Amino acid sequence: MDFFTFVQLGDASVRMAIPLLLACLAGLFSERAGIFDIGLEGKMLAAAFLAAAVSFTTGSVWVGLLAGIAISVTLSLIHGIASITFRGNQLISGVAINFFAAGLTVVIAQGWFAQGGRTPSLPRDARFGSVDFPGALTRVRDKMQASPGMQFYSEFISGHSILVYLGLLTVPLSWWILYRTRFGLRLRAVGEAPEAVDTAGISVVRLRFSAVIIAGILCGIAGAYLSTAVQAGFTKDMTANRGFIALAALIFAKWRPWYALGACLLFGLFFAIDNRFQNIQLQVIWIMVLLIGVSVLMTSWAARKEKIDLWVLGGLSAVLTLVALLAWRGAVTDEIGAMAALFETVKVPSQLIQSLPYLFVVIVLAGFVGKAIPPRAGGQPYVKER
């Protein structure tokens, strides 16, 4: 892998990370205020659709962005009414919002554009173009021949959509709001101990609504970015579960803005690898070492814990070992024999590669990469005590 490939991978990671980051920060504001938001996905999707539709209709991508933010904030308010005003179950409300957006975007898109539930392709001026920094090269051929420093400047630093730079700026901004302002202090307090906020004479309801509105704005930008900057238009389910991955990144980031940036870049890298290397080939021996190694580690860890751990992780290990053996068995042919088959290269199923980000989410959530303590009042509606 040459340096330029490396830079390109980094560039793609950033591009993939931005919607995750915006959604993750949206979740951060919401959850820091004590409101779980599993509806990030739906809000992004609705925003992606409306941003594209309005950009196409008006020809102005900025109007589109505003429309995207508006619909996302509207859904946020619905979530707020359900979970703050009526103290409903926040998970159920979020799930409902996800389905609502998934269904309605397609139905409305069909009613509006009659193109099978998508928007027409956006012309160039109805999209966010790339911002080229002074002196940066724009043509791939030029970049490939430039010096590493120039490659880094032109590909990695320059040439992103304005929303990418905006998205990156939200990180220090969120940090500053959270830790340096009165609003931030109150926000953090209401997610930890709403009763303390209430008795201090501050409205819990208003604070929590502010938080979900901020979440709505950020999801709106994230959605608009997907349909007007990354792609040229809306397609069905185009958010592709980024909302859920953002939630996992949020847990990984322990609800902190700078950590969120790191976590989202890591997930962005996963997607970039996934996009770039559809076809990964490995020698059978490595597959076996990897799978059996993981099995041995898991089982020996579980053996020191309780019975249930041994049952579950031991069982999983058995399955992984079986897969490793099947991979070996599959490579064996009459000509080469069993030993030589170990050194055959086989293609890793593309479905597995595509599942890697999801698998990583599960591993993150399993807490084997550090224990995370969520905001204490998270997920619980605030009821004044009698």
Residues of span 181-220 touching another protein by CB under 8 A? 181-186, 188-189, 192-193, 195-203
Identify which of residues 157 and 309 has a Cβ nearer to another protein in the complex.
309
Report helix, strand or coil for 345.
strand
| CA gap 252, 372 in Å, rounded | 7
- Can you tell me which of 92, 169, 303, 369 binds another protein, judged by CB under 8 A? 92
Least CB distance to another protein at residue 80 (A): 11
Per CB under 8 A, which of residues 119..178 are in contact with another protein? Answer: none
CB pairs under 8 A, 24+ apart, for 336-342? 341/284, 342/283, 342/284, 342/285, 342/288
Determine, following the binding rule CB under 8 A, whether residue 281 of this chain makes contact with another protein.
Answer: no
What is the closest distance, in whole angstroms, from the C-beta atom of residue 386 to another protein in the complex? 7
Site for another protein in 349-378 (CB under 8 A): 349, 351-352, 354-355, 358-359, 361-362, 365-367, 376
What is the footprint of another protein within residues 226-255 (CB under 8 A)? 241, 244, 247-248, 251
| CB nearer to another protein: pick between 218 and 251 | 251
Q: Is 108 in the site for another protein (CB under 8 A)?
A: yes
| Region 37-66 residues binding another protein, contact defined as CB under 8 A | 38
Of 86, 133, 165, 343, the residue at the interface with another protein (CB under 8 A) is: 86
Which residue number, 108 or 144, has a Cβ lying nearer to another protein?
A: 108
User: Taking CB under 8 A as the criterion, which residues in 282-321 touch another protein?
Assistant: 308-309, 312-313, 315-316
Give the residue from 382, 304, 383, 288 showing the smallest Cα distance to 35: 382
Pick the stretch among 92-100, 127-135, 147-155, 263-271 that binds another protein (CB under 8 A): 92-100
323 touches another protein (CB under 8 A): no
* Least distance in angstroms from the C-beta of 252 to another protein: 12
81 is a contact residue toward another protein (CB under 8 A): yes
Three-state DSSP at 160 gives strand
> CA-CA distance, 111 to 9, in Å (whole number)?
39
d(CA 162, CA 159): 9
Count of residues engaged in binding another protein, rule: CB under 8 A: 79
Residue type, 294: V
Residue 72 near another protein by CB under 8 A: no
- The answer to the question of residue 106 lying near another protein (CB under 8 A) is yes
- Residue carrying the six token digits 């009165």: 182
Cα torsion 265, 269, 274, 277 to 10°: value is: 160
Residue 110 makes contact with another protein by CB under 8 A: yes
Residue closer to another protein by CB (options 166, 372) is 372
Question: Which residue among 104, 146, 166, 342 contacts another protein (CB under 8 A)?
Answer: 104
* Residue 76 near another protein by CB under 8 A: no
Query: Using CB under 8 A, which of 80, 117, 159, 233 touches another protein?
Result: 117
Q: What's the CA gap between 373 and 355, in Å, rounded? A: 27
CB 248 → another protein: shortest distance, Å? 6
Distances (CA, A) of 200 to 30, 194, 233, 377: 21, 10, 48, 17
Q: Which one-letter amino acid corresponds to residue 60? A: S
Tell me how far, at minimum, the Cβ of 195 lies from another protein, in Å. Answer: 5
Two tokens, residue 180: 């340096």
Residues in the chain: 386
Smallest Cα–Cα separation from 282: which of 356, 342, 335?
A: 342
Residue closer to another protein (CB basis): 51 or 197: 197
| Core vs surface per residue 233-254: b (16+ CB within 10 A) or e | bbbeebbbebbbbbbbbbbbbe
Phi, psi of 345 (to 5 degrees): -95, 140
